[in-house]
A and B are shown apart, each in its own frame.
Chain A
């Protein structure tokens, strides 16, 4: 009966209750949706790290990671791989060679990590081959073409492999994107002209576009104007195992484009047998063994097992290799909870205010209830239940709305194009697909109930202090 009365009391002053419910709805929606976006971004970043950059577990010589010495390599790699592949929970294993060197074109030189891979084995572990920029190559489709390499988009830009050119076809494409005619007329002025780098193209754009036009349409024009020098040549130079300077001429066999610009700008992939030959390394050796597990949740236990199986080697999982990501992933839940607590704390003031009004308005009724025998515990419970109903109604509405919006946006993604450079510098994609687990909704529900309870404490205590005889005299 107390619960039923409390629920009916919520609707006694419909407008006031609806205002409070609406504020809770908006607050919860904003909080849950923002958490959905943050969680989506973090999940995408973690997936990116696992799928393209690190995978689940890596094994190296104990000294390799600290000094990058070529001599710190693993021996009997095929036996090692065979033993690891035979373990339960291991999905795939590959090995890699690593050399630090320089990538050079006629105009630019840049320091890079040169990674020797077996492209077919690599596909079992990493999804980087799927990130191939269309029209830039075919990711080692022909293994006999030893000079081919797979480089990142940012490195291609740095080495001036990506150029910029506007032609009639691009103008038409931009017209279909509904660019204003005066902008199209402006950029048509440099039709046919070729720009070797992004900077010179931007300079040309600025001569025909206003600052506002550039900030609004500059990125789209830049993307459309990009052209690739097919099979562009560049050299890789490095020191071999005998400390002799060596290197080779390579061609771009594909450009990968991922949200992490740092990774893109310094990781060059070539076939391992070429690198092995150039650094004069014996067969059956490698610098790194990379392991993909069937389930990422087994990472901790498998790391422990591999450490005990190979005590002479360094076994690190992705959380140890990328501690920043691990921290982000591990503390994300705490951060989201904290975020929701702040929102709910702000909403609690509104609920407290409403419940104080309720107690003030119902002084006589509360006096009557005490007079006829409703004890303090039950009066407290009735006010508390009403407060919980008030907050929970708004909370559930807010969660339903945010769930719908998250479902819709998670299918299409949200484009944070204006923040692309900043996001990619931190390794995040500018297209974020919001995502939130059902467990988070359960946590939010519990937090809403706690907020309702806490918000009712002060008003309920005020109600308990009422003297029934005096309260009954109230008009």
Chain B
């Protein structure tokens, strides 16, 4: 089942009369349960592509369908709501809310969706256990290591059971051990919950784990390799 389709997507930035093609005629499809990495050198358009897939940015040309819904047809308020229900985000610098505990950070999105308390608590504890942080429930981000913070961020991204998770350079700030640990957790959750993961990365360790690797160069897809 297709969760994401990109048709001839372009993104052109107009900086001081010079047109920059950040993304150039990209056509892609993602099936449910994929574990895909978008790779490429800096400036190849990875983050721009992820932003457009996540509805944070709009293509200059082309269409993006998430679960058959064309994002360009949604109003800005509807896009935010759509993101909340369908897309999970993991950021390079974790971006947890520093005043909330690990549990509260994970619960945040479920609260926004008005989940009942019992259901919320159950899901939060499940995720904390899955990312191996069940003993750090009440720790604030400042009390956690970088790897632990990113694991909380992954748990938060998965909290509301989205259709797919977009992770922009999730391991860029992590050491080898934390990276491996995080990738194992994400892979496990991908298999157990059948949630699609799409990474932008130039980390070879991530690329090695990915089951599909899409390579971008100058905004164009130069290869799309599916591994077994």
| Contacts from A to B (Cβ < 8 Å) | 1-2, 4-5, 8-9, 11-12, 364-365, 368-376, 378, 468-469, 472
B81 at the interface (CB under 8 A from A): yes
If the complex has contacts A1-B108, A5-B100, A472-B56, are A370 and B95 also in contact, measured as CB distance less than 8 A? no
- Number of interchain pairs (Cβ within 8 Å): 62
A374, B95: Cβ atoms under 8 Å? no
Chain B positions within 8 Å of A375 at CB level: 77, 80-81, 84
Chain A positions within 8 Å of B107 at CB level: 1
B97, A5: Cβ atoms under 8 Å? yes
> Which of chain B's residues has its CB closest to A369's CB?
B97
Partner pick for B89 among A5, A11, A372, CB 8 A cutoff: A372
B97, A374: Cβ atoms under 8 Å? no
If the complex has contacts A1-B111, A468-B56, A469-B57, are A371 and B99 also in contact, measured as CB distance less than 8 A? no
B72 at the interface (CB under 8 A from A): no
Chain A positions within 8 Å of B113 at CB level: 373
Give the one of A365, A370, A371 with max B CB within 10 A. Answer: A371
Chain A positions within 8 Å of B95 at CB level: 364-365, 368, 472
B109 at the interface (CB under 8 A from A): yes
CB distance from A475 to the nearest CB of B (A): 9
Sample of 14 more A-B contacts, CB < 8 Å, known A9-B99, A373-B85, A376-B77:
A5-B97, A5-B99, A5-B108, A364-B95, A365-B97, A368-B89, A371-B83, A372-B88, A372-B109, A372-B156, A372-B157, A469-B57, A472-B56, A472-B95
Q: How large is the interface on B (under 10, 10 to 19, 20 to 34, 35 or more residues)?
A: 20 to 34
Contact with A along B63-101 (1 / 0, CB 8 A): 000000000000001001101110011010001011110
CB distance from B187 to the nearest CB of A (A): 22
| Docked pose: A370 CA to B80 CA in angstroms | 7
Chain B positions within 8 Å of A8 at CB level: 99-100
Chain B positions within 8 Å of A472 at CB level: 56, 91, 95
| Docked pose: A375 CA to B51 CA in angstroms | 17
Chain B positions within 8 Å of A12 at CB level: 98-99
Partner pick for A373 among B84, B98, B104, CB 8 A cutoff: B84
| Docked pose: A465 CA to B104 CA in angstroms | 26
Give the one of B54, B80, B157 with max A CB within 10 A. Answer: B80
B56, A371: Cβ atoms under 8 Å? yes
Chain B positions within 8 Å of A368 at CB level: 89, 91, 95
Chain B positions within 8 Å of A468 at CB level: 56
| Docked pose: A404 CA to B152 CA in angstroms | 47
If the complex has contacts A365-B97, A468-B56, are A371 and B89 also in contact, measured as CB distance less than 8 A? yes
A374, B89: Cβ atoms under 8 Å? no
